[in-house]
């Protein structure tokens, strides 16, 4: 296990390097630069030239990339071209908002998806199964903004129970105003529930009807034990991968929810950075996203290994 | 959002709704604090007034600082820090008298502060959007005659020079200021707190020359998404929202929780046809397109009727706009025959557009449809919104563009003259136009100046390649009960002005 | 019960599918011809959208391209993804997975923007790009399903019985992972539909004036409360498409698994 983890760590470093280089290259080929974005629609050529010089955009890209790399060991992600503040500060602020939303959403989604998935998987074909599946798929396929706007219209504007937007609050301080988070978390839950619950359901259903489950049942094992010891471990493996994707999606920022509820998180931060061609910030965000993705995949693989102890099929 | 109060839930839940509205941390409980919501996306968030380029920057600058003059709704100048001014007979030497005003640290506002500010704006290193307005100032010859008397010397005559003193990003800062982390100005509000990307909080400055402001505190809340701003206003989280789309405007008109304030002639909506390259270097093709577009349909559909008809000229409703030119009408017959004459039947071109302005894409779809009727094949092409306005400077042959209100002579000088560089989106070069504009600037008599400017605009209307199809209303909205806000076009004195606003 | 849900699934999928297939034949003109956001009237039974176009005509004509694009993207993702995943269960699969993790870690927005900026704006590159962006997640889920102990025991037994690699991989494993694959595809459908609409706003895929359902929903966003039909009609067609597809997937799987 330790060797496996160590090997994956080395590979992860290579993956991060590849992501950094690729993101840098992709951002560099986008037309326009920060100077023209910052100066807006009626900037004169000399204004743009002056700002380019001040932002050091006239320095060759590979040199800026090298400088950025050099800062990494010190945990220095560079300075945002757009705001002039440290990229790490900017990201950590957005991350607080995003992490809070993600944690709350997961705290609801995981138990709910398990309950729905296992319940419907074991009672497949029942009215409960059909009904719940229809509902979770429907919630997922409703356009996110429409779901959000309707919830705001109903619970904030009409009933007045919950605030419509965060209106200036952000980061961990949001935890002090839990009412602000109810609607955004609700929307996120609706969007994440479907894939997870359905993956649990199909896993459980397949495992439950597989030959070995029949086999242990024939041996007279109590149903409870069959489900807990044999059906769930077998059935949950694909769902674990789906969970990794869900967490990844939530931590990568949820652009629509952040916009509708005026919650400045990782999603809007990253989109803003890309649109402004703010290379240091784009690099910083991409790096954080990549680390999240790779760590989650590692965790998902480790979890799968626990469910499925041997590593490879003999073939 | 249009949920009527008369609904089913009302009776049963009214009490609950009232009790929870105050629990939401709404604006109602914040006493003398006025909360205003602005979009801030893409802003280089700084409180340096001289580099401000977005509306939110300008609104914050207006709260913290003052300018020498302000713009009335028609973009004529009205005195602010400058009490009076007069040019010499040549229009190159201007004497300005300042009123008694103080900065937030109690220092008086002096002629030296004004000179320092204008020098800083004119310095290329500042990269100020207002730099061009002060490019002709001879700072070596300009001087402070006394603490309150200032002499500004120009290298070329300009009887419209006072317009420069009211332009965005021309605020007066104390001499020597270089750091804007906690800026000192002479505006109606003092700096309290601000971090880029977060709310900015300012407090009333009791020593303001026009008297203390009404609200004790002013908070700028960043809300980028338009629907979120509308929801925040309707649920009582903020008192004022800036920039409301035509569709939300229709919604707000039917809601008693908010009041829509629409300033007509807010933004010019136009298509720039590049006359310095084919196919629009042929004036017949330009005229064909100008006569092929149905401006009324564009106004009705793309602007949902919330605007005014365009007549291929900037500045409708502003000073020096020639109201007496006949309205350009759609004439498909003329358009087709012009195209045939030019051998451009069935010609194809790309019309650049983007989400940078909510009206661009609907207009592009309509225009391509309308020009299809006269035999042109126009394909709209969506470009990235953040870099759109720089992308269209040199690329393509036709692009949607817009301009908020500014004085007509400023527009003509900065966007249509041959020496306007890449801000002349259509690539219009006309010695005759330039000569008329120069003569107008050096003419002291206002009636004569008006006539010359009208001549210049007549020329530009037919040949500059600027297809102005309409003017979109400039919409803001306030919560019910908020007083002291009136609809005003962007860049005018009363636009985003909060010193006389009562949260109600 | 089973009949009923089969019926429900068929109807839910059938309405959008038939609309997509035959709607274009029945649709009226798509041009802007009236004031925007008109409420339903005899002339416009579902009112008009933000561009003053007939919502009914748009809804009738907006399915074909969307269903084709989304279907092609998904088909491509699974046609490449499932074999890759099965390959990745064997030796050397680790490298493939690490490479796909790298693809997964690339921000999709950046990829689409570069695509838009580099002139690859048509439907073909977009379909390919969306398929590639889905690929890593597809491979991971399919591979994990193929490695489930139940599968493995059978594979080992088959290997010992001397079955060919081909029969084990495709014949047995391919069928065994069908469940997770179908469920994943069903839920991924919604994702891809809205991804296509977002791409449209970046200038990719179809023209901005396209009548594509997902594009219509996005474009009429602001009109949700002003002219709900302009948003709800295309949105309901999309929801119906997704729910119907997923119900039928369940139905197909139930036939395989049998009821407990």
pLDDT of residue B7: 38
CA distances from A10 to A4, A13, A71, B443 (A): 10, 5, 20, 75
Q: How far is B367 from chain A (nearest CA, A)?
A: 23
C114 at A interface, C-beta within 8 A: yes
pLDDT of residue A169: 80
pLDDT of residue A275: 83
Q: What is the mean pLDDT of residues B495-501?
A: 95
Q: How far is C72 from chain A (nearest CA, A)?
A: 19
**Which of B19, B357, B390 to substitute to test the interface with A, most A CBs within 10 Å?**
B390
**What would the pLDDT profile of B431-444 be if each residue is shown by its tens digit?**
999 999 999 999 99
C81 at A interface, C-beta within 8 A: no
pLDDT of residue C257: 64
pLDDT for B322 beyond 90 = yes
pLDDT of residue B146: 95
pLDDT of residue B18: 34
Tens-binned pLDDT, residue by residue, of chain A (315 aa): 677 778 888 888 899 999 999 999 888 888 888 888 877 777 777 778 888 888 888 888 888 888 888 888 888 888 888 777 888 988 888 899 999 999 999 999 999 999 999 999 888 878 888 889 889 999 988 888 889 999 999 999 889 899 999 887 877 888 888 899 999 999 999 999 998 999 899 888 877 877 777 777 888 778 778 777 777 877 787 788 889 989 998 998 788 899 899 998 899 889 888 888 888 899 999 999 999 998 898 888 888 777 765 433 333
Put simply, the chain C residues between 26 and 55 with a CB less than 8 A from any chain A CB are none
**What would the pLDDT profile of A166-200 be if each residue is shown by its tens digit?**
887 877 888 888 899 999 999 999 999 998 999 89
B16 at A interface, C-beta within 8 A: yes
pLDDT of residue B41: 60
Q: Which of chain C's residues have a Cβ under 8 Å away from the Cβ of B366?
A: 32, 51
**What would the pLDDT profile of B443-460 be if each residue is shown by its tens digit?**
999 999 999 999 999 999
Chains that touch C (3 or more CB pairs under 8 A): A, B
Polymer length of chain B: 504
The answer to whether A277 contacts B231, with C-beta atoms less than 8 Å apart, is: no
Q: State how far Cα A238 lies from the chain centre.
A: 18
Residue of B nearest to C199 (CA): B382
Query: Rounded CA gap, C191 and B270, in Å?
Result: 37
pLDDT of residue A1: 64
The answer to whether A29 contacts C117, with C-beta atoms less than 8 Å apart, is: yes
**What would the pLDDT profile of B347-394 be if each residue is shown by its tens digit?**
999 999 988 888 998 899 899 999 999 999 999 988 888 788 888 988
The set of residues, in sequence order, having a beta carbon less than 8 Å from that of B15 and lying 6+ positions away, is: none
**Which of A113, A125, A197, A201 to substitute to test the interface with C, most C CBs within 10 Å?**
A125
Q: Which domains does chain B have, with CATH numbers?
A: 5-65+187-257 (3.40.190.10), 69-166 (3.90.76.10), 264-473 (3.10.105.10)
C37 at B interface, C-beta within 8 A: yes
Among B45, B385, C105, B240, residue whose Cα is nearest residue A93: B45
Q: What is the mean pLDDT of residues B488-492?
A: 94
pLDDT of residue C80: 94
Residue whose token pair is 């300033």: B263
Q: Are B398 and B280 contacting, i.e. CB atoms less than 8 angstroms apart?
A: yes
Residue of B nearest to A278 (CA): B42
C190 at A interface, C-beta within 8 A: yes
pLDDT of residue A309: 52
Indicate the SS3 state at residue C243: helix
Q: Are B183 and B191 contacting, i.e. CB atoms less than 8 angstroms apart?
A: yes
Q: State how far Cα A50 lies from the chain centre.
A: 38
pLDDT of residue B67: 97
Query: Rounded CA gap, B382 and B388, in Å?
Result: 9
Q: At residue B321, what are phi and psi to the nearest 5 degrees?
A: -80, 125
Among B41, B49, B47, residue whose Cα is nearest residue B128: B49
CA distances from B371 to B278, B285, B341, B471 (A): 17, 12, 17, 20
Within 10 Å of residue B94's Cβ, how many Cβ atoms? 22
Q: How many helices, marked H, and strands, marked E, lie in chain B?
A: 13, 17
Q: Which of chain A's residues have a Cβ under 8 Å away from the Cβ of B42?
A: 37-38, 82, 272, 275-276
**Which of B299, B382, B399 to substitute to test the interface with C, most C CBs within 10 Å?**
B382
The answer to whether A38 contacts B44, with C-beta atoms less than 8 Å apart, is: yes
Reading the block at residue A219, the tokens are 């041996």
The answer to whether A39 contacts B124, with C-beta atoms less than 8 Å apart, is: no
Q: What H or E segment, with its residue span, contains residue B16?
A: helix B9-23
pLDDT of residue B206: 94
The set of residues, in sequence order, having a beta carbon less than 8 Å from that of B457 and lying 6+ positions away, is: B313, B321, B322, B325, B408, B412
Among B77, B73, B493, residue whose Cα is nearest residue B317: B73
Radius of gyration of chain C measured on its C-alpha atoms: 21
What is the average pLDDT score of chain B?
Answer: 89
CA dihedral A85, A90, A91, A92 (to 10 degrees): 120
Tens-binned pLDDT, residue by residue, of chain C (260 aa): 567 778 888 999 999 999 999 999 998 888 888 888 888 999 899 999 988 899 999 999 988 888 999 999 999 999 999 888 888 877 777 788 888 989 988 888 888 888 888 877 788 899 999 999 999 989 988 888 887 766 667 777 777 777 777 777 666 777 778 888 888 899 899 889 888 888 887 878 777 677 789 888 888 888 888 899 999 999 999 999 999 999 888 888 877 765 43
Q: What is the mean pLDDT of residues B4-21?
A: 35
Widest CA span in chain C: 73
The answer to whether C32 contacts B366, with C-beta atoms less than 8 Å apart, is: yes
Q: Are A261 and A148 contacting, i.e. CB atoms less than 8 angstroms apart?
A: yes
């Amino acid at each position: 296990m330790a060797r496996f983890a160590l090997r994956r760590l080395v590979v992860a470093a290579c993956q991060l390097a590849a992501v950094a280089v690729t993101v840098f290259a992709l951002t560099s080929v986008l037309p326009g630069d920060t100077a023209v974005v910052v100066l807006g629609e009626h900037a004169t050529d000399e204004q743009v030239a002056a700002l380019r010089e001040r932002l050091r955009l006239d320095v060759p890209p590979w040199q800026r990339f090298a400088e950025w790399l050099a800062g990494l060991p010190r945990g220095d992600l560079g300075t945002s071209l757009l705001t002039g503040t440290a990229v790490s500060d900017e990201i950590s602020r957005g991350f607080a908002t995003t992490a809070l939303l993600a944690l709350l959403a997961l705290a609801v989604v995981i138990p709910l998806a398990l309950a729905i998935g296992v319940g419907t998987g074991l009672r497949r074909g029942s009215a409960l199964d059909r009904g719940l599946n229809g509902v979770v798929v429907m919630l997922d396929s409703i356009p996110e903004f429409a779901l959000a706007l309707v919830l705001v219209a109903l619970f904030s504007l009409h009933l007045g129970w919950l605030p419509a937007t965060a209106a200036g609050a952000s980061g961990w301080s949001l935890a002090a105003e839990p009412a602000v988070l109810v609607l955004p978390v609700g929307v996120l839950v609706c969007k994440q529930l479907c894939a997870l619950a359905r993956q649990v359901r199909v896993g459980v259903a397949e495992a439950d009807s597989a030959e070995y489950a029949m086999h242990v049942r024939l041996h007279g094992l109590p149903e409870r034990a069959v489900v807990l010891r044999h059906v769930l471990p077998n059935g949950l493996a694909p769902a674990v991968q789906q969970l990794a994707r869900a967490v990844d999606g939530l931590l990568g920022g949820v652009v629509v929810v952040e916009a509708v509820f005026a919650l400045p998180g990782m999603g809007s931060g990253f989109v803003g950075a890309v649109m402004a061609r703010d290379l240091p910030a784009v690099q910083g965000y991409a790096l954080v996203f990549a680390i999240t993705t790779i760590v989650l995949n590692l965790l998902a693989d480790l979890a799968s290994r626990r469910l499925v102890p041997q590593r490879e099929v003999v073939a | 959002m249009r949920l009527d109060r008369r609904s089913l839930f009302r009776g049963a839940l009214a009490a609950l709704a009232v009790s929870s509205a105050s629990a939401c941390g709404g604006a109602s409980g914040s006493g003398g604090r006025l909360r205003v919501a602005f979009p801030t996306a893409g802003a280089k968030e700084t409180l340096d007034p001289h580099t401000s380029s977005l509306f939110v920057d300008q609104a914050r600058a207006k709260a913290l600082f003052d300018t020498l003059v302000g713009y009335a709704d028609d973009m004529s100048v009205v005195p602010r820090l400058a009490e009076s001014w007069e040019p010499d007979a040549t229009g190159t030497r201007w004497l300005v008298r300042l009123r008694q005003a103080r900065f937030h640290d109690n220092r008086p506002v002096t002629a030296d502060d004004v000179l320092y500010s204008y020098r800083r704006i004119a310095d290329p290193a500042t990269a100020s959007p207002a730099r061009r307005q002060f490019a002709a100032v001879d700072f070596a010859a300009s001087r402070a005659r006394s603490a309150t008397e200032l002499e500004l010397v120009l290298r070329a005559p300009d009887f419209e020079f006072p317009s420069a003193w009211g332009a965005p990003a021309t605020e007066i800062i104390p001499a020597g200021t270089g750091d804007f982390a906690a800026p000192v100005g002479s505006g109606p509000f003092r700096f309290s707190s601000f971090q880029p990307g977060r709310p900015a909080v300012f407090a009333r400055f009791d020593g303001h020359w026009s008297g203390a402001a009404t609200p004790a505190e002013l908070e700028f809340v960043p809300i980028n998404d338009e629907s979120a701003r509308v929801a925040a206003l309707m649920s009582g989280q903020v008192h004022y929202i800036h920039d409301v789309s035509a569709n939300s405007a229709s919604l707000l008109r039917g809601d008693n929780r908010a009041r829509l304030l629409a300033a007509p002639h807010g933004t010019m909506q136009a298509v720039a046809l590049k006359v310095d390259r084919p196919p629009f270097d042929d004036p017949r093709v330009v005229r064909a397109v100008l006569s092929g577009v149905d401006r009324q349909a564009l106004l009705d559909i793309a602007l949902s009727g919330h605007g005014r008809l365009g007549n291929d000229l900037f500045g409708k409703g502003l000073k020096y706009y020639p109201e007496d030119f006949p309205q350009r009408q759609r004439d498909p017959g003329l358009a087709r025959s012009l195209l045939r004459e030019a051998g451009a039947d069935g010609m194809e071109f790309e019309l650049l557009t983007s989400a940078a302005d909510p009206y661009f894409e609907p207009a592009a779809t309509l225009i391509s449809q309308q020009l299809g009727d006269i035999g042109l094949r126009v394909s709209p092409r969506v470009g990235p919104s953040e870099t759109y306005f720089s992308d269209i400077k040199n690329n393509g042959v036709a692009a949607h563009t817009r301009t908020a209100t500014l004085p007509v002579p400023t527009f003509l000088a900065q966007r249509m003259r041959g020496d306007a560089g890449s801000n002349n989106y259509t690539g219009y070069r006309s010695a005759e136009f330039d000569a008329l504009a120069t003569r107008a600037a050096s003419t002291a008599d206002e009636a004569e100046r008006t006539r010359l400017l009208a001549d210049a605009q007549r020329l530009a209307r037919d040949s500059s390649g600027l297809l102005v199809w309409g003017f979109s209303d400039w919409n803001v909205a306030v919560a019910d009960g908020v007083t002291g806000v009136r609809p005003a076009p962007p860049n005018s004195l009363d636009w985003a002005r909060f010193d006389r606003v009562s949260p109600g | 019960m089973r009949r009923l849900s089969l019926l429900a699934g068929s109807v839910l999928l059938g309405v959008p599918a038939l609309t997509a297939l035959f709607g274009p034949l029945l649709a009226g003109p798509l041009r802007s011809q009236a004031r925007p956001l008109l409420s339903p009237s005899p002339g416009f039974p579902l009112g008009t959208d933000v561009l003053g176009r007939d919502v009914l005509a748009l809804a009738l004509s907006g399915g074909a391209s969307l269903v084709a694009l989304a279907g092609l993207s998904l088909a491509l993702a699974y046609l490449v993804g499932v074999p890759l995943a099965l390959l990745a269960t064997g030796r050397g699969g680790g490298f493939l997975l690490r490479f796909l993790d790298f693809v997964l870690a690339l921000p999709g927005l950046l990829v689409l923007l570069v695509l838009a900026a580099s002139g690859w704006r048509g439907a073909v590159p977009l379909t390919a790009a969306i398929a590639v962006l889905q690929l890593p997640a597809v491979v991971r889920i399919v591979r994990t399903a193929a490695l489930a102990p139940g599968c493995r025991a059978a594979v080992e037994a088959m290997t010992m019985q001397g079955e060919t690699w081909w029969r084990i991989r495709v014949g047995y494993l391919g069928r065994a992972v069908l469940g997770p694959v179908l469920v994943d595809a069903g839920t991924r459908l919604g994702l891809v539909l809205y991804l296509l609409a977002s791409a449209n706003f970046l200038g990719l895929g179809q023209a901005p004036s396209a009548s594509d359902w997902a594009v219509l929903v996005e474009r009429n966003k602001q009109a949700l409360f002003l002219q709900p039909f302009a948003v709800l009609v295309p949105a309901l067609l999309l929801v119906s498409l997704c729910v119907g597809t997923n119900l039928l997937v369940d139905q197909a799987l139930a036939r395989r698994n049998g009821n407990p």
